[in-house]
Amino acid sequence: MSSAATTDLSTTTFDAVLFDNDGTLIDSSGAVVRAWTAWAEHHGIPLETLVGLHGVPSRGIVSRVAPHLDVDAATADIDRRELEDAEGVVALPGAREALAAVGGRAAIVTSAGRHLAVLRLDAAGLTPPAAFVTADDITRGKPDPQPFLLGAQKLGVDPARCLVVEDAPAGLQAGRAAGAATIAVTTTSGAHELAELADAVVTDLSQVTFQTVRDGVRVDLA
């Protein structure tokens, strides 16, 4: 299966679907903005330096925007702030139905740490599938393909026979680098930022119907 933008999703059967979490399955934007704004103000980091880094693990963001800080301490600080705020976190349209339809062929692959990911999924009323990859499981975060390669490995499938569902350019780049096909949702980025990285662009998962068949998962786009 090619990861090129010419992949016909409607005629492809996928071995598995690898879902990002924040911005794809759940809306945590309010909590994310509050935590990172407070963190940036505390450390004297200009807020504009954080633009365009959605989907990158917190440690990677800290290393990029504040290399002068103690990375361990500064990352622990933002992690603490995020763990203290799950207010307003909700499931995005179609997320619950997508996870239920894909079932055991689904993985969640998130740039958040495990405690934070579980906290936000619980706040949104979603249960993660057994295959669950977080920042705690990897040494290189998105846009590196390692998170999605590990997600495929946990499901025992070839990453080139997977579909990655993402909202962020960094995540789509990671999915492409892993060899997977990609669907982008425009929940946090505009279609113009995502189109070149995705085989299809939709508003949210309510525009995608997943169906488990004998040999994998089929996709219908509204």
What is the residue extent of each domain of the chain? 9-28+89-221, 29-83
94 conformational bin, left if phi > 0, alpha if psi -120 to 50, beta if neither: left
Distance of CA 36 to the CA centre of its chain: 18
Catalytic residue, chosen from 15, 22, 85, 204, is 22
For 62, list phi and psi in degrees, rounded to 5.
-60, -45
Q: To which residue do tokens 């892993």 refer?
A: 178
Look at residue 167 and give its three-state secondary structure. coil
Beta partners for residue 221, in sequence order: 208
**Element (DSSP H or E) covering residue 166:** strand 162-166
Q: For each of the chain's 222 residues, which pLDDT tens digit applies?
A: 434 446 789 899 999 999 999 999 999 999 999 999 999 999 999 999 998 887 788 999 999 999 999 999 999 999 999 999 999 999 999 999 999 999 999 999 999 999 999 999 999 999 999 999 999 999 999 999 999 999 999 999 999 999 999 999 999 999 999 999 999 999 999 999 999 999 999 999 999 999 999 999 999 998
Residues 207 and 221: beta-carbon distance below 8 Å: yes
Catalytic residue, chosen from 8, 15, 20, 72, is 20
Classified by CATH at the fold level, domain 9-28+89-221 comes out as Rossmann fold (3.40.50)
pLDDT of amino acid 53: 84
Is residue 20 annotated as a catalytic residue, yes or no?
A: yes
Is residue 22 annotated as a catalytic residue, yes or no?
A: yes
